[in-house]
Structure 1
Amino acid sequence: MNIEKNICESLIGTLLGMDGKCKDSEKARLDMQHLGIRKDQHPVVENGKYTLPPSLYSLGKDEKIMLCKFLEGVRMPDGYASNIKRCVDVKACKVSGLKTHDYHVILQKLLPLVIRHILPEDVAKPLTELTRFFNAICSKELVESDIEKLSSSIGETLCRFEMIFPPAFFDIMMHLPVHLAEEARLGGPVCYRWMYPVERYLRTLKGYVMNKAQPEGSIAEGYISEECLTFCSRFLEDIGTKLNRPERHESSAVNEPPSGLSIFGSLDYSKKGCKVEHVPRFDMLRMRHYILSNCDEAVPWINEHKEQRKNISACNVDKRHREHFVGWFEDEGTLCRRED
C-alpha cells in the first residue's frame, strides 16, 4: 500500500514538477554533475542562476495541463475511488490531497492511459511495465510461474528507471518493489492482506462519534442504529434506501429490463456535460472494435472470424483480427439481412 503510494506520488510530483514532490531538482542535477554522469542534463549557469536542461521525462506546459485535465475528468463508480477531481488544480498543474487508495487507482488504472500520449516511448514503456507489475501483484489469483517472471522482470524495469531518472529519484521506496513478488509468493495475493477495507471501515466508525468524551459509546450506538436501519430497509421495497438506490452514474432506467445489446444496458444517457466531436475514421474503427469485442452477443462472430484468420495464416492472428473484424462484421450483417 504505502510503497505503491510513495512511488506514484514521486512519479506524479516529478512529471508535474511540483514543489516539494519533484525529485528532479537543482540538487539532483548537481549530484549528477558531481558523479560525472549524463552530461547533457548538468545544470547550466546563466546570469548567476542555475538553468536545468530538459530531460526525457520533462513535460511542457501543454502536457502537464493534459495530464491534470485527464485526472480531473475521470468519472468512477461509487466506492471505487474518491473524487479525484477535487484534488486536481489544472491552472497550477498540481495534484494534492490524494489518499493512499487514490494513488493505487491512478498508478494501476489511469497513469498507463495518459503517459503514452505525453511521454516518449523510452520513458512510457518502463512506466507501463511498473504499472503492470503492481496490477499482477494485486490480482486475486497468483500462479507461481507468473510470480517468478515478475520477480525477474521488476529488476530489469528498475534498471531502466535508473537510466532515465536522476539518482535522487531512487529512495528506499523505489527499491522495495524488488521484494514484493517474493512476499506475494509467501503471503498470498496482496488484495487479501492490505489495509484498504480496514481503513475504510475505521473511517465509518469514526463518523459515528458524536461525543468525543465517550467515543466507545458513540460507536456502539451508531453501529446499533445502522443495523436497525439496514434491517428495516429490507422490508421497504417501495421506498428508496441505500440498499436499493442506483448509483449516481447509472441511467434512470437501471431497474427496467435491459433492451438491445448488453453492453449498453448500464450507460448514463443523460446529456449533462456532453459535447459533439468529429472523430477520425481510424479512432472510430477502434471504438467500434472495442464495443464489439466487449459485447456478449458478438462472441460467435468473433470466434468465427479468428478461425478464418487462422486458416489463412497462423501469424499475427490477433493483429489481423483487430484490423479486419469491423468490416467483416458489417459484411456478415448485410448478408444476413439480405437472406432474411
Structure 2
Amino acid sequence: MGCPVCMEKSNAFWLKNSRKPSYFDCHRRFLPQNHPYRKDKKSFLKGRVERDPPPPRLTGYQILNRVQHIPSAIDEPLEYPYGYKTDHKWTKKSIFWELPYWKDLLIRHNLDVMHIEKNVFDNIFNTVMNFKGRTKDGLSSRRDIALYCDRPEIAMGPEYEGPYKKAVYQVTVEQKQKILEWLIQLRFPDGYTSNFKRIVDLEKLSIKNMKSHDCHVIMQRLLSVALKENLPANVWACIVDVSQLFQLICSPVLNKKALEDLHRNVPTIMCNLEKVFPPSFFDGMEHLLIHLPWEARRGGPPFYRWMYNFERFLRELKKKVTNKAHVGASICQAYLTEEVSTFSSFYFERDVITRRKRPARNDDIDEGMYEQMVSIFNYPGKGYGRQTHRHVVGDEFRIAHTYILVNCPEVIPYYNDFRENLSSSGYGNEDIDHFI
C-alpha cells in the first residue's frame, strides 16, 4: 500500500529472504490483454499468467469517503484508525480535505520527480556497479530469485555453497574502474555538477555523497554512454529506456503526442526491467515510474512541482542556524537581519559593492579595459585557476601565429595585399594557401 494511486491493489508482496516488500511483476496488468508478456511464465514470477486489468484510479470523492471518518491532522488520536495496515495506511486526514475544491482536483498527491529519479538511479547504478552494501543484488536477493523466479543461471538456494554467480546486469571490476576513471576525466560548465574527483574513490572503487542533481545529470546524460560497451544489449536497452523516460518527463516543454506514446510504452519498459533485475530491486520508487506519464500530462513540466527549489531554500535556512538550542528563533532572527540589510543596501551609493551588486563568480572583465590592444586580445574574460607557463614552439607556434594573422581585423588589409601580390605573380589559389 505504498503507492498513492494503486493503494491496496498494487499486488506488492513480501520477500521472504530480503525481508522487505517488492513490486516485482506488478506491471504486466497495465499491458494490453493480448500482449505476449501476460502469458510469459518464465521471465517474471515463475508459473504465473497475468489476467487482471490495471487497478482503477480512485476519484477525489471515493478517497474522501475513505478518510472522512479518520481524525484530522490537528487532532491527536489515541490509537490507529480501524483497518490500519490491513485496508489502508492512513493515520490522519489531511487538512487539505477541508478545501471545498480538493475532492475535484485531478492531482491531489503530487509525485516528486526529483526523489523518484534519484532513488531509481541509485538502485540502477549501485546494482550495475555492484557497490558493496548498496547493491540490490546480494545473497538474500539470490535466494529470493531461486524462490520466486525461473533463473537458474544466477539463483542461489538456501543450500547452495558454490561460487558467487555473476549476473548479466553487473559489470566486472575492470569495467567498474574504467567507468569511474571516465567520470573523473569529464569536464562540465562551472556549477553544472559536483566535482567527481571529490566523490569518486578509485582505491575502493566506489562513489559516494552524490547530490540529487548529480544523479539527475548522470541518469539522463551519462549513464547510457558509460554502460553501452559494458553490458549486454538487452540490459543496456532497458536502462536507456528509463533514462529517456526521465529526459522526456523533465523537459521544459512537454510534447503531448510523445507523452501519450510514453504512457502506452511505460508498462513495457517496466516489464523489460523485471525480466533483467531481481525482485529485491523493485521497491516503491521503481513502481511509481508507471504513473509519471499520466501525471505529467495533467500537471505539466515537473520543474513547477519537484523539490529542487524547496530543498535549496531549506539549505539556505539551515545555514542561518547559529543557536542549536533555539533553531526556529535563530532562523527567524537571521532572516529578518538579511531582509533589513537588503532593504538598506538600495540606498547606498552606486559604487558601494553589496551582496546584491557584487560581481558574479564567473563575471568577465569589462570589454573596454584594453581598448589600446589588438582586437583579437581584447575579448572579455579572465584566467581561471592557478597560473601556469608554457613555451610554445614548432607546429603549435605556427598554428597559433597563423590563426592570429587570419582572424585579426587589423591584419586583413595586409592579408588581402599579400594574396593579390602572389596572384599577380602567377600563383594559383592552392599555392597561395600553401604559402599562408
Please say if residues 211 and 218 of structure 1, whose CA atoms lie closer than 8 Å, have aligned partners that are also in contact.
yes
Structure 1, residues 102-123: CA drift from partner, whole Å, max 9, x if none? 3222212232231223223222
CA distance in 1, matches of 2:245, 2:329: 44
Deviates more, 1:231-240 or 1:80-89: 231-240
Please say if residues 246 and 254 of structure 1, whose CA atoms lie closer than 8 Å, have aligned partners that are also in contact.
no
Residue 177 of structure 1 pairs with residue 285 of structure 2: no
Q: Which ranges of structure 2 fall in alignment gaps of 5 or more residues?
A: 1-113, 369-374, 389-428
Deviation at 1:150, TM superposition (A): 1.2
> Aligned in 2, Cα 1:254/1:240: closer, same or farther, shift over 3 Å?
farther
Aligned counterpart in structure 2 of residue 161 of structure 1, from 254, 269, 273: 273
Please say if residues 116 and 124 of structure 1, whose CA atoms lie closer than 8 Å, have aligned partners that are also in contact.
yes
TM-score normalized with structure 2 length: 0.53
Structure 1, residues 3-48: CA drift from partner, whole Å, max 9, x if none? 21211111121112123321222222222323451222234999x7
TM-score normalized with structure 1 length: 0.66
The 5 A counterparts of 1:31-180 are 31-35=144-148, 37-43=150-156, 49-180=161-292
Residue 201 of structure 1 pairs with residue 313 of structure 2: yes
Please say if residues 179 and 226 of structure 2, whose CA atoms lie closer than 8 Å, have aligned partners that are also in contact.
yes
The 5 A counterparts of 1:204-215 are 204-215=316-327
Structure 1, residues 266-308: CA drift from partner, whole Å, max 9, x if none? 89876889xxxxxxxxxxxxxxxxxxxxxxxxxxxxxxxxxxx
Deviation at 1:210, TM superposition (A): 1.2
Number of residue pairs matched by the alignment: 273
> Aligned in 2, Cα 1:133/1:226: closer, same or farther, shift over 3 Å?
same
Please say if residues 43 and 51 of structure 1, whose CA atoms lie closer than 8 Å, have aligned partners that are also in contact.
no
CA distance in 2, matches of 1:113, 1:139: 20
Please say if residues 140 and 189 of structure 1, whose CA atoms lie closer than 8 Å, have aligned partners that are also in contact.
yes
Please say if residues 72 and 88 of structure 1, whose CA atoms lie closer than 8 Å, have aligned partners that are also in contact.
yes
* Amino acid across the alignment from 1:202: L
Aligned twin of 1:279? none
CA distance in 1, matches of 2:120, 2:215: 9
Please say if residues 42 and 52 of structure 1, whose CA atoms lie closer than 8 Å, have aligned partners that are also in contact.
no
Say which one has the larger Rg.
Answer: 2
CA distance in 1, matches of 2:320, 2:120: 33
> Aligned in 2, Cα 1:256/1:175: closer, same or farther, shift over 3 Å?
same
Aligned twin of 1:186? 298
The 5 A counterparts of 1:242-321 are 244-247=358-361, 255-256=366-367
The 5 A counterparts of 1:210-249 are 210-227=322-339, 228=341, 232=345, 244-247=358-361
Percent of paired sites with the same residue: 33
CA distance in 2, matches of 1:255, 1:153: 52
Please say if residues 44 and 51 of structure 1, whose CA atoms lie closer than 8 Å, have aligned partners that are also in contact.
no
* Amino acid across the alignment from 1:42: A
CA distance in 2, matches of 1:91, 1:104: 25
CA distance in 2, matches of 1:243, 1:59: 50
Please say if residues 323 and 330 of structure 2, whose CA atoms lie closer than 8 Å, have aligned partners that are also in contact.
yes
CA distance in 2, matches of 1:238, 1:118: 56
Deviation at 1:230, TM superposition (A): 8.6
* Amino acid across the alignment from 2:208: S
Please say if residues 254 and 266 of structure 1, whose CA atoms lie closer than 8 Å, have aligned partners that are also in contact.
yes
CA distance in 2, matches of 1:230, 1:67: 50
> Aligned in 2, Cα 1:235/1:74: closer, same or farther, shift over 3 Å?
farther
CA distance in 1, matches of 2:310, 2:177: 35
Q: Flag as ranges the 4+ runs of structure 1 deviating above 6 A.
A: 264-273
Deviation at 1:207, TM superposition (A): 0.8
> Aligned in 2, Cα 1:83/1:45: closer, same or farther, shift over 3 Å?
same
CA distance in 2, matches of 1:34, 1:143: 43
Aligned twin of 1:7? 120
CA distance in 2, matches of 1:216, 1:45: 53
Deviation at 1:151, TM superposition (A): 1.0
Deviation at 1:81, TM superposition (A): 3.6
